Amino acid sequence: MTDTDKNTRHQLRMARKKAIIDASIARAYQEKGLLLVLTGNGKGKSSSAFGMVGRALGHGMKVGVCQFLKSRTDTGEEAFFGKQARCEWHVLGDGFTWETQNRAKDIATSERGWAVAQRMLTDASYDLVVLDELTYLLNYGYLDADQVLDAIGARPLMQHVVVTGRAASDTLRDLADTVSDIADVKHAYRDGIKAQPGIDL
C-alpha cells in the first residue's frame, strides 16, 4: 500500500468514526448530577475521585470530600486539596478496621463520618461530593445500606457524587449512572515496592 492509499484509507475510517461519535453527542443532551462508582481491586479508585475534585475546582465548583477509612492526615491529597478555598476535606476514619479490631468503635466512627456526608448530601451548595472508601462501611455493615443509598438518591438534582471502594454492591451499582470496575492487572506492591508519596498517598 502506498502512503497515499494509507492516508486515504485513514481519512475514510476517521470520517466514519466522526459520524458515529457526532450522532451520540447529539443524543447526549441531558444535564443532571451524576452518581459515579469506582470499584474493583485495582489502583486508581480514590485518585480518580481526587482528579475529579481538581476538575470541579477548575470550574469554580464547590467540593466536599469525606474519607471514611483513612485516619492519617499526612497524605498528599489532603495537604493539597484540603487547603483549596472551595474544597472541604474531612478525614473521618479511625484507621483501617484490621488496625482497630473493634467493631463497636468502628461503627461509632462510621456513624460520626456519615453525619458529615449527610449534611453535604442535603446541601445544594456542594456541586461535587466524594465519599471515599464508603463501600467498606456498607459491606461490613457499619452503616445501614438502605439509609445511605436513600440519602444519595435524594440529594440535590445537580449534585455529583463519587463513591469509591472495593466490592460495590449491586444496589449501589444499580443506583449509579457510571460504574467503573478497576481490575488489578499488576501492582507494584506485589513486587515489594512500598506505597509511594504522590502515587498512593
**Residue 29 lies near a copy of itself (rule: CB under 8 A):** yes
3-state DSSP call for residue 29?
Answer: coil
Applying the rule CB under 8 A, the residues between 37 and 56 that interact with a copy of itself are: 38, 40, 42-56
**Residue 157 lies near a copy of itself (rule: CB under 8 A):** no
Q: How many CB atoms lie under 10 A from the CB of residue 175?
A: 18
Closest to 65 measured CA to CA, from 44, 87, 33, 86: 87
Closer to a copy of itself by CB, 79 or 124: give it.
Answer: 79
User: Minimum Å distance from CB 30 to a copy of itself?
Assistant: 5
**Residue 138 lies near a copy of itself (rule: CB under 8 A):** no
**Residue 149 lies near a copy of itself (rule: CB under 8 A):** no
52 CB-side CA count, 13 A: 24
DSSP code of residue 133: T
User: Minimum Å distance from CB 112 to a copy of itself?
Assistant: 19
Taking each helix axis from N to C end, the angle separating 145-153 and 103-121, rounded to the nearest 10 degrees, works out to 10
* Cα→Cα distances 140→72, 107, 148, 156, Å: 21, 9, 14, 28
**Residue 110 lies near a copy of itself (rule: CB under 8 A):** no
Binding residue for a copy of itself (CB under 8 A) from 94, 134, 160, 163? 160
Binding residue for a copy of itself (CB under 8 A) from 23, 72, 73, 99? 99
